[in-house]
Amino acid sequence: MELTLNVLSFNVWGIGIPIICPNRQNRISAIGEELASGRYDIVSLQEVWTENDYNTLQEKTKHVLPYNHYFYSGVIGAGICIFSKYPIIGALFHAWSVNGYFHKIFHADWFGGKGVGLVKILVNNQVINVYNAHLHAEYDTEKDDYKTHRVIQSFDTAQFIENTKGDSVLQILAGDLNTQPDDICYKVILRISKMTDTCQDEDTCTDECPRNTYTPKSLIKKNSKGIRIDHIFIRGNENATVQVLHHGTPLPDRVPGQKFSYSDHEAVLARIKISPGSCQAGAKCGDEGDSLAKSAESQEVLQKAIQLCENSLENLSFDRKFYFTFALIVVFILITFIDQTVPYGYKTVYLIGKLCLFGVAMYFVFMGTFWNMIEKNGILSVKHSMEIKLSAIEKYDLKIDS
C-alpha cells in the first residue's frame, strides 16, 4: 500500500538547569502542544533530560501520538525518545564504546551514556525502523577534542543500522548528529549505512540560526547563515520506492504569544512517500548498487576515519605517560613531607593538604590506567571494524550494504 509519513526530528534543549536552559518548562509545554496538532506521524526528540518533561510530552500527545519510548541509559539518561502515531512493536538501545570524558563535567555527554536507539513501528502491516541518535557535541571549533569520538559513534551507528534493518521496508535515522554535510562524520554515516539525506537545500539552518532568540550574537557575526547538524536520513529496501516529498523547518521563529524560540535548535520535518515495487528513477531507494565513484569515496572516508583513530591512540599513549609522571611527582612530594613537624594550629590544614595530594595522585593513576584502557579498547574495537569494512570494499568489491 502507498503510504506518506511526516517525520519530525527536534533537539528540544531540555537541560534541567534554569540558568543554563531558560524558559524550559514553557518551551516543553509549547512543544507538546505543537506535537499534539496531529501534523506528525513519527517524532524523534533529543535532549529530553528530565522525566517530568517526558511525562509532559506524553500527556499532551497521548491522543495523536499514543505510542512512545524513552531510551534509558547512563547516569542521567540518553535524552532521546520517540513518539509515534503507529504501534511500536520493538525497541533496542546500543551504547557507543566511547562517549566523552567523565571528568569534563560541564560537557556532561559521558553522564548521558549516549548511543543510538531503535524502535520498530508497524504501519499497515509493514515494519519501519526508526533510529534516534545524538552524537557528541563539538564544544570548541578551534580544538575539537571529540572528533574521533564522533567518527567512531558515526561508524557504530551506521553499522547498527545495517545489522538491524531486518525485513523493514524503510529505515529512518532522525537526530541531532552534530555534524555538517562537509564533515567526515556525516560522510561516514551516509556511506556506510547507504542512507540518503532528505534535505537537498544547502541553505537550511538547524543550529546557530540568526532568527533563533537563543543564538548568541557572536555566533551570528561569525556565521550569519548558521549550520545544519540536525538530520533525517532514509533508506528503503529493494521492494519499495521511497521519495522525499518535502523537507523543511516547520516551526515559527517564536513560541506563539512569547518572545523566545521553541529551542536553541530548529525542528526538521521530512514528508516521505513509500510505494510498493522496485526502485524507480528519481526515487531515493536503498539497495541500488554502488558505482565505482561511491566505492572510491567510501574507501577514502574509511581511510580518514582509521587515521583519526590511530592519531587518538598515539595521544592516549602520551597521556598515559603524562598521568604516570605527575602521579610519581605527587607521590614523591607526599613521601618527602609525610613526617614533617608542623606548628601547632596548622595540623588540620596539613592533614587536609596531604589528603588532597593523595586524591590527586589517585586521580592521575586512575586516568593513566583504567580510564586510559577503557578509551583505548573502545577506539581499537571500532577501528578494527573499520579495517574489516575497508578490506571488504578493496578486495572483494562488495556493496556497502552487503
Q: What residues are labeled active site?
A: 265
Q: What angle do CA 252, 254, 256 make, to 5 degrees?
A: 90
Q: What angle do CA 133, 138, 314 make, to 5 degrees?
A: 100
The gap from C-alpha 42 to its chain's centroid, in whole angstroms, comes to 18
Reduce the DSSP state of residue 122 to 3 states and report it.
strand
Query: In angstroms, how far is the first alpha carbon of the chain from the final one?
Result: 27
The gap from C-alpha 231 to its chain's centroid, in whole angstroms, comes to 11
Backbone φ and ψ for 76, nearest 5 degrees, come out as -115, 5
The gap from C-alpha 97 to its chain's centroid, in whole angstroms, comes to 13
CB 126, CB 141: distance < 8 Å: no
CB 232, CB 183: distance < 8 Å: no
Question: Residue 9: CA atoms inside 13 Å, Cβ hemisphere, count?
Answer: 27
Spatial separation of the C-alpha atoms in residues 338 and 357, rounded to whole Å: 11
Q: Which residue has the cell 533537539?
A: 11
Other CB atoms within 10 A of residue 19 CB: 6
Q: Angle 184-193/292-336 helices, nearest 10 degrees?
A: 130
Spatial separation of the C-alpha atoms in residues 244 and 7, rounded to whole Å: 11
- Residue-wise burial string across 238-248, b where 16 or more C-beta atoms lie within 10 A, e elsewhere: eebbbbbeebe
CB 267, CB 9: distance < 8 Å: yes
